[in-house]
Amino acid sequence: MLINRIAVLCSGFLFATLLSATSQAEINTLQPEQDQGSTAREIVGKLEMLHYNKLKVGDEMSETLWDEYVEALDPTKSYFLASDISEFREWRTKLDDQLRAGDVKAGFEIYNRYRLRVTDRLNNILSQMDKGLPAFDFSRDESLELDREESQWPVSISAADELWRKRLKSSVLNLRLTGKKDEEIRDLLVRRYKGQLKRVEQQNSDDVFELYMNSLTRLYDPHSNYLSPRSLENFNMSMSLSLEGIGAVLQADEEYTKVARLVAGGPADRTGKVKPNDKIVAVGQDKEGEMVDVVGWRLDDVVDLIRGPAGSFVRLETIPTGGDGSHRTILIQRSKVKLEDQAAKKATFEFSDGEKTYKIGVINLPTFYIDFEAYRRRDPNYKSTTRDVAKLLAELKEEKVDGVILDLRNNGGGSLQEATMLTDLFIDQGPVVQIRHANEQISRHNRSRSRAMYRGPLMVLINRLSASASEIFAGAIQDYNRGLVVGNQSFGKGTVQTMAPLKEGQLKITQSKFYRVSGDSTQHAGVTPDIPMPQLIDADSVGESAYDTALPWDRIHAVPHAKYFNLKDLLPDLIGKHNQRTSADPDFIFLREQFQYESERADQKFVSLNEFAREEERKNLNDRLLTMENRRRNAKGLEPYASFEAYEESESGDVATIGGPVEIKLEKDPILNEAGFIMADFIGLSDKIAKTPPQVADFNSR
């Protein structure tokens, strides 16, 4: 199932003894508008002609489109009946011909049936709620299937009713476990279902058309999509520096809105409390406003609720990823995401290799930025990544650092121009990245300086959220053997998109693909570090490889480029020292245990509907987390926590607001701390490095 899908309405938790007799007419059957047929023909033509992935819209794609569209509407297989699916199959090999003819009626007919099923279910559950919260036997041993991707649609109304009974029971139990009373639960669920009913009734032709067209564009790759006029407005707003909000990219994930990534330096990022994959269940305005349940909401409606003027407050109720299902409320002050918040910053620390102490400079780079407006008006003081890092390198040189770590963790990319120009600071003349276009022509970006600005020991620190421009830079440093790449396999986003105008809206379409100077693509596989660190983010759920239709990894011809150091001979010693140092390190033991814990939680296929079992499960999970943390604290000579509640209070608190500028600290960053020791080893073992040629890689000239 595709992760990055746009959900129109996702499943609630309810049951009914019979479907109501609501007719299609009573819920305002939606019909395609006049221009949508011609827009569909235009989209098909541009995809076939312009997209990097040369696919033709034919019978085979028609079948895949049918599968994708039905799954996009009902990913949990909870609304449609098997009889509905059987009826829809008549279109399975016909959608391609219909789209070429500008006929989108099949997409609307399938959607209208979906809309009818949803409306019936919501009306029935609301009528059930009029009589009070249904009585459930929470001592009964039964479970709910969490992942229904491989399941079948209900074969009858009674089978659907049983599925919805369990879903409602699970929803009630989840709320009971948060401490809510039955009357509170009933009121919350009634508001939730009424809100879902209102939103499904407000769906219009543009919404259906956009969903149908995006089911087509996703077959080409996950980054190509159709933007309706409304979505285009939101897209343009999100790309603007004047965007005011919390600085988070959100996506729909079944009935939830999920945090896809954080904007570096933005309000949500600076709280330290919001993480990728956290689920948002409620949103409240200001410090005391009512929390509005947003489960089942449209993605853009949730975004509208969270967005607001700079200086105002918003509260998010989230289910943290990898937790025990408990909710957390976070207070965030909205603000504009400014270049200053995302600018490169530096710090210096001292590390020893056991024989000698070295001063290491760390430059944190949250994104590849450039102030295009100031650049276009020829402002001599315009801000950019390369200019700022050059200044920081000059300052570090004055401070006589022995080596530099460039921290690109969580850097999702940005300006390609800045990624190539930044490489100028570290290597002499040569190619940086290759780009193969849809017409199969290959262009190359070369660095322009005749001599690198910084010539000393270098390390690039990456993780799973380092993407796009970050991967171009890290890949170039690795291919040139200019420095060590340390951390985790990067995201793997190696494609370039452009905007193509349409009669209605625009088409964001993938037209190019990045390749390293070695010939390897950064697409799908990303950059593999020379020295791996403990994995903190699940690569199966985050990254390009998590998308079903991601373009594959491949390679083209390498281009001639220099090799600076013989790192291959040095790596065994560095890895051996790293493994020896971290095998007994309390922080690293904790990180590995934490990832194992979260992986086990992510693999859970069923959830118990027995209250006692769930309480025991939660207690066991909390005890495990507390034991892991206290083992770490004891090993570090810190006072252990007396209870899980004390640990949770210390780690998260009830609310959090943004603070001042983000500082580089080692205390709570064991990955950066270990990177410093690796760098010290790297410098200490420098006499074993074969300098090729010596005038290019001369440690004494740093």
Residue positions annotated with a catalytic role: 468, 479, 493
Report helix, strand or coil for 303.
Answer: helix
Q: What number of helices (H) and strands (E) belong to the chain?
A: 21, 21
Contacts of 140 (CB under 8 A, 6+ apart): 609, 610
d(CA 245, CA 268): 9
d(CA 340, CA 343): 5
d(CA 430, CA 563): 11
Closest CA to 483 of 443, 519, 454, 449: 454
Judge contact between 382 and 371, C-beta under 8 A. yes
d(CA 406, CA 473): 11
d(CA 515, CA 519): 6
Closest CA to 457 of 665, 675, 673, 672: 675
Cα torsion for 9, 12, 18, 22, to the nearest 10°?
A: -30
Report helix, strand or coil for 230.
Answer: helix
Closest CA to 559 of 521, 519, 520: 519
Question: What is the number of other CB atoms lying within 10 angstroms of the CB of residue 233?
Answer: 13
As beta bridge partners, residue 460 has 406, 485
Going across the sheet that includes 531-532, the strands are 345-352, 357-364, 403-407, 458-462, 484-487, 531-532
Write phi, then psi, for 120 (nearest 5 degrees): -60, -45
d(CA 692, CA 625): 49
CA angle 264, 228, 467 (to 5 degrees): 25
CA distances from 276 to 380, 406, 504, 655 (A): 37, 22, 33, 18
d(CA 338, CA 266): 8
As beta bridge partners, residue 359 has 350
